Each structure stands twice: as C-alpha cells, then as structure tokens.
Amino acid sequence: MPRAVYVLALGIFAMVTSEFVVAGLMPQMADGLDATISEIGYLITAFAAAMALGGPFLTVAVLRMRQKSALVLLFGVFLAGNVLAALAPDYRTMLVARVLTGIASQAFFGVSISLASRITRPEVRGRAVAVALNGLMLGTLLGLPFATVVGEHLGWRAAFWAITVLTVLAAAATLIGVPGADGESEEQGGLRQELGAFRSPRLWLTLTTSTFVIGATFSAFSYLNPILTELTGFSTGAVPLLLVAYGAATVIGNTVVGRFADRRTLPVLVLGLALNLAFLVGFALFAELTAPAVVFMLGIGLVGVTMNPALVTRVQRVGNARSLVNTVHSSFITLGIIIATSVGGPAIDTFGLRAPLWIGAGLAVLGLVSLVPDLRRRAAAARLELAAPSDA
C-alpha cells in the first residue's frame, strides 16, 4: 500500500475529529454558548449541510489543481474555520465556523478518496479506500474521546485548539508524504465530462443507498452522549471510555469490510444493513439496561459507518473514481447525517431520547429497500448464467 494512502488517512482523521467533537461535548457547549442540547445538535446538522451542499462546489473550484496543492489549500480553509470555532464568542459565530469547516472537509474527502483510488491497483481499491477511511474510524476511536476528555478537563474551546494543532501536523505530513507529480492531477476532461457520470439513474439510486446507511448510523451516534447518560445511566466520565469502545468496533468493522468490499460488495451491504437494523431496534428497546445497551451500541459501531468502503466501491463502479463523483457521494453520505440530526433533535423534544434510535431503524429499512433493484439485477444475471449451458 503506498505511503501516501496512510498520510491521507491522517488528514481525514483530523477533519473527522473536528466533525465529531460536537457530539462528545454537547452539554459543555450548550452551557458555554447559552444554547440547548437540540441547538447544539443543529451544529452537527450545519456541518453536514455545509459538506453536502458546499463541498461539491469547492471541489469543482480545485479540479484543475494538482491534487496535492488542492489538499493543502483545503487544509488552509479548514484550519481557518477551526480557529474561528475555538474563538467563537456566541452560537451564531460557532455556526459560521462549522459551515466553513464542513465545506472544506467534504472537498478534502472527495480529493483524498480519488487520490487513494488512483494511486492503487483497481483490484485493491476497496482496501486502499478502507485504509484512508481508517482516519474516519480512528477519529471515532481516538480523536473523539480525546477531544471529549480535553473538553471536560480544559474546556470545550481547548478541544478545538487541540484539533487545530492536529490539522497543522496533518498538513505538514501531506506536504512531505504525498507525491507532488505522479498520480496527482485529475484526468483532464473538463467539467462537462465530470458531470457526465451523473446522467445515470442507477448512480443516483446508488448514492441514495449511502444516505440511508449513514443516516441510520448517525441517528444513534449523534445522540450517544445523552442517551448513555440520561437513559442508560452512565456517568459523564464513563462516556469517553464507551466512545473508545465504539471507535474500536468501527476500526474492526472497517478493516473487515475493506477486505471484502471489492469482491462481495452487495452481500456486505445487505448483511451490514440487516445487522444495523437489528442493533438499532435492540438499543431502542433495551436502552435502560446497561449490558444490552453497550452490546447494541458496539454492534452499531461494527456495522454502521464501517460500510463506507463497500459504499465507495459500489459508487465508483457505477460512476467513476474521480474527485467530483467521490465528493458528491460524500455529500449524499452527509445528507444522511443531516436527516438524522435534523429529525432527531425535534423527535427527542417530542418523544424522548429513544426516538433517534427508531428513526435510525426506519432509515436502515429504506436502505435495504434501495438495494432491491441491484439484488434483482444480480439474480437475473445468475439465472442467465445458469441457463447459458442448456441453451448451448
């Protein structure tokens, strides 16, 4: 595996840590910004909305740049937003900061995944994407708990300053470890050619599956802190340890999915969604029981966001492996986060903390339904293959 893939993972790790930090510091940020838990939840929504809507436009702006130069530029934009978040005097300023960092991180994901795919052999692209996306999983395993601990002991602003330092280190590693020429620039075909892939209805349906998969997972993940403390009864000090365990489950799941993403893409997604549905329902039913709640939480970590390598592989096969397709795919992924958090917040106010878990279960069902056309296509192809010898 090229060294640059691991460097890309470090950059993704920095940005994902910033993306997830709000989920780990909801009570502290609510107090510091004179806001409610639901309003702090909307900061996650704002970050995701900026990723989904602004990321593709920023990607288009950097299409003609060498990918290394594009990554460095995106680091700069992200860094500016993160510093603004650390200094934010009020909720409105924090909202602006989250939008800025969301736009930059989405474009960064698209360029990074494209570069990881382009510098590796086609038959191991799924594994390369899994390695790069380990930055996302490690952001959950290490970055989020670390930021949570820093926030609890030094204040939530200190968590954002720690992420700022991490971003600078990741940018320096990119300057040193990512090649500046070979495999760096996009295949130049112009924006029209880039947009050509989106004429396929099958690609749009494939992108929609990703929305449901990630939306189902984030319905639970975005509110783990209040669910675990207010429903299950854990202390706030225990939450970072539980998040570490959740993150470890995502690393394991991502590694396993990466191994099978190229050869068993559709079966992996069907099995993952079915299991996630079962874990979400179980969590909703037994959230007040300590042991079952932890088991179901870890199960969601194991088969939720870890479907990403299979999702990326599926999208690249239907579309292509270029930056714009990957960024738009990331936009559909973050659309799932938008749905989960924008619906989850009001649902909590009306129906209580179990509501996001039931919403996640519903999204998992929709994800399974969206796979039906591909399952039918696969079954039809298998029937034709069986019929071919007898026709001969």
Q: Tens digits of per-residue pLDDT, 348-381?
A: 988 999 999 999 999 999 999 999 999 998 888 8
DSSP annotation of 186 reads: P
Distance (Å, whole) CA 349 – CA 295: 26
Placement of tokens 């890309």 in the chain: 8
Residue 343 or residue 128, greater confidence: 343
Burial of 161 (0-12, 13-18, 19+ CB in 10 A): middle
* Closest by Cα among 137, 175, 105 to 327: 105
Q: Which residues contact 116 (CB under 8 A, 6 or more apart)?
A: 4, 5, 8, 125, 128, 129, 131, 132
CA separation for the pair 278, 38 (Å, rounded): 26
pLDDT in tens, 27-82: 888 888 888 887 888 888 788 788 888 888 888 888 778 888 889 999 999 999 99
Q: Which CATH architecture has domain 3-181+197-380?
A: Up-down Bundle (1.20)
- φ and ψ at 321, to 5 degrees? -100, 20
Residues in the chain: 392
Domain edges within the chain: 3-181+197-380
Give the DSSP letter of residue 197.
Answer: G
Percent of the chain's residues with pLDDT above 90: 41
Name the phi and psi angles at 64, rounded to 5: -85, -5
> DSSP letter string over 36-68?
-HHHHHHHHHHHHHHHHHHHHHHHHHTTTS-HH
Give dist(CA 78, CA 14) in Å, integer.
Answer: 10
Provide the pLDDT for residue 68: 84
CA–CA separation, 14 vs 326, rounded Å? 19
Q: What is the mean pLDDT of residues 169-197?
A: 70
